[in-house]
Structure 1
Amino acid sequence: MTLTLTLPPKIEALLRQRAESTGQDITNVTLAVIAFGLSFDESDFFEALEGIQRGLDDLDRGQFSTLEEFVDRQNQKYGLSLEA
């Protein structure tokens, strides 16, 4: 089956970046992402999409933290001693 999708440039760029960073063909990465998304039940799927969109919106607004900051917060919150 052939299906043609028009993706927002941001999503296409993310797919291309993932394909390049993993040495995969963009078609294989896209199929894996779609299959992964379809593996969720309906409510989990839409909750995950909303969370991803919030994260992308935060990134666009420059509201993000480094991995080190995230690890520090998790260490403090849960009494862990992880390193980034």
Structure 2
Amino acid sequence: MTLTLTLPPKLEALLRQRAESTGQDITSIALAVLAFGLSFDESDFFEALEGIQHGLDEFDRGQFSSLEEFIDRQNQKYGLSLEP
């Protein structure tokens, strides 16, 4: 089946960047992303998208923490002893 999609410029740039960085062609990357996204059931898919968008919005506002801070919070929250 042939399908033509018009992507927003930022999304196309990300897709091309991923293809170049992994040495794969852009079609293979697009198919992998679509397959991954479609593997979720509807509620999980949209919850994941909302969580990702929330994280990106926080990052754009400069609201993020270091990996070490994240690991410390997870250790405290779940009684773990992970190290960075």
Which TM-score bucket, shorter chain as reference?
0.7 to 0.9
Please list every run of 5 or more consecutive structure 2 residues that lacks an aligned counterpart in the other structure. none
Structure whose CA Rg is larger: 2
Q: One-letter code of the match for 1:26?
A: I
Task: Quote the offset at 1:43 in angstroms.
Answer: 1.2
TM-score (norm 1): 0.76
Displacement over 6 Å in runs of 4+:
none
Task: Quote the offset at 1:64 in angstroms.
Answer: 1.1
Larger deviation, residues 8-17 vs 43-52: 8-17
Structure 2 SS opposite 1:52: helix
Task: Tell me which residue corresponds to 2:81.
Answer: 81
Larger deviation, residues 19-28 vs 44-53: 19-28
**Change beyond 3 A, Cα 1:81–1:66:** same
**Change beyond 3 A, Cα 1:79–1:55:** same
Structure 1: how far apart are the matches of 2:81 and 2:38? 35
**Change beyond 3 A, Cα 1:55–1:17:** farther
Q: One-letter code of the match for 1:70?
A: F
Task: Tell me which residue corresponds to 1:26.
Answer: 26
CA root-mean-square deviation: 2.0
Share of identical aligned residues, percent? 87
Task: Quote the offset at 1:4 in angstroms.
Answer: 3.5
Structure 2: how far apart are the matches of 1:73 and 1:65? 10
TM-score (norm 2): 0.76
Task: Tell me which residue corresponds to 1:58.
Answer: 58
Structure 1: how far apart are the matches of 2:74 and 2:20? 30
**Change beyond 3 A, Cα 1:40–1:67:** same
